[in-house]
Structure 1
Amino acid sequence: MPSYRHIDLNVLLQAVGGDADACRSLTLTYLDVAPPMHEQLQRALRSGDCGAAAYAAHALKGSTTLVGAGPLSAALQALEAQARAGQSAALAPAAAGLAQLFGAALDEVRRSLADGEVR
């Protein structure tokens, strides 16, 4: 099995009770829904909208947690907490690092499908 740094394939597999079909289906769903969710979050971060950022970070965190993207999920959790605390000055600076983590996790999810790790 290839080595992944930004996702843990076992997290999703365990969440679906080892059902390979469900794992593949949820992985494909993640690839469909996560990029628009990330874009929504990026818009909220750039605008400094704490309410929208908290909502978008929370929503994306649920998806990233399911696919085992631990580092990204942790960053989203911290960002959600900052947004809920009204720390609007922290939002825009977080955008680039978050985009990098999201891109790395997304690439690995895609690679896991291409490598046949998710069946």
Structure 2
Amino acid sequence: MSAAPTEIRLRRAEQALEVAFPDGARYRLPAEYLRVESPSAEVQGHGPGQKVIVAGRRHVGILRVEPVGNYAVRIVFDDLHDTGIYAWAYLRTLGVEQEARWSTYLAELGARGLSREPPRRA
């Protein structure tokens, strides 16, 4: 189990969550990144190899961050996704692996002909 963050700050204008840990590690996690890496079954699936590539979330924002016990937070996004429980260890992993995960995500979008931009409405 990972240590609880010393600070979690929602930066609405920047569409990001800042998370600081007791060892001094500090991460700025954009809302789009948090949304496409949601730990929810809707995104991660129910087993290995079932992860869904979530496209069209470039402008997603965070409505609120809610505590879940002493081990996690639930993030409510403005696209109304709210089923992911972000445990402290997962938030740290997202910070540590941000560059690699983001590169993989962008490559997957490209390989599938998808875009970060939301679909245009008719």
Measured against the shorter chain, the TM-score band is under 0.3
Q: TM-score of the superposition, structure 2-length normalised?
A: 0.26
Q: TM-score of the superposition, structure 1-length normalised?
A: 0.26
The one of the two structures with greater contact order (alpha-carbon pairs below 8 A, sep at least 6) is: 1
| Higher share of residues assigned helix | 1
| Higher share of residues assigned strand | 2
